[in-house]
């Protein structure tokens, strides 16, 4: 009989402990998710700086920008990421000096959680000066001039 009373006491204690532990586990998982998002935000800022540096060095080809190629982003975080350049807006070059063209390029970074969930999107606008130097416009630039006039 004493053993039965002890088992009932353990069962009552376990039933009381479960509701007390659940908020702590919920807070712990929420905190981990928040820390991952903060680390991702930091990673996105570093990746943005790397993209700007790659554009300065001409490591990203103009054809890849024009065709909106999606580039993968390597992370150690629980997210799978990629970035691409959106539809560009072109400013007309100065009539006196047509050796450069000004662009406003939207940069879209998207990160999808590996365990499933809603993707996190980051948007930046890059101001790009394309210096053509001397010589004729590359093939395809003539159509850009027509698009720029239509967008205005």
Is 118 in a helix, a strand, or coil? coil
Residue 97: the pLDDT is: 64
Q: Which helix (H) or strand (E) holds 91?
A: strand 89-91
Residue 7 has pLDDT above 80, yes or no: yes
Q: CA 95, CA 135: separation in Å to the nearest integer?
A: 15
pLDDT in tens, 24-53: 999 999 999 899 889 999 999 999 999 999
User: For residue 52, what pLDDT is reported?
Assistant: 92
97 vs 74: CA distance, rounded Å: 41
User: Would you say the C-alpha torsion 51, 54, 55, 60 has a positive or negative sign?
Assistant: negative
Please indicate whether residue 111 or residue 1 has the higher confidence score (pLDDT): 111
CB 90 within 8 A of CB 129: no
144: pLDDT confidence band, cut at 50, 70 and 90? very low
Q: Do 93 and 100 contact (CB within 8 A), yes or no? A: yes
pLDDT at 106: 92
| 18 three-class SS | helix
Give the 3-state secondary structure of residue 144.
helix
The answer, yes or no, to whether residue 56 has pLDDT greater than 60, is yes
Tens digit of pLDDT for each residue in 79-138? 899 999 988 776 766 666 667 778 888 999 999 988 888 899 999 998 888 776 644 545
Token couple for 69: 């190629």
Dist. CA 107–CA 121, nearest whole Å: 10
Mean pLDDT over 68-76 rounds to: 88
């Amino acid at each position: 009989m004493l053993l039965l009373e002890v088992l009932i006491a353990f069962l009552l204690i376990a039933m009381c402990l479960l509701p007390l532990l659940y908020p702590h586990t919920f807070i712990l998982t929420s905190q981990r998710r928040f820390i991952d998002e903060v680390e991702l935000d930091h990673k996105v800022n570093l990746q943005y700086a790397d993209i700007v540096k790659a554009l300065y060095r001409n490591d990203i080809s103009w054809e890849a920008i024009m065709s909106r190629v999606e580039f993968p982003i390597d992370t150690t975080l629980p997210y799978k990421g990629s970035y691409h350049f959106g539809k560009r807006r072109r400013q007309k070059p100065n009539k006196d000096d047509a050796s450069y063209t000004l662009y406003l390029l939207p940069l879209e970074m998207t990160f999808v959680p590996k365990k499933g969930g809603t993707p996190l999107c980051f948007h930046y606008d890059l101001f790009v000066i394309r210096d053509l130097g001397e010589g004729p416009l590359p093939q395809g630039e003539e159509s850009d001039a027509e698009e720029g006039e239509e967008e205005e």
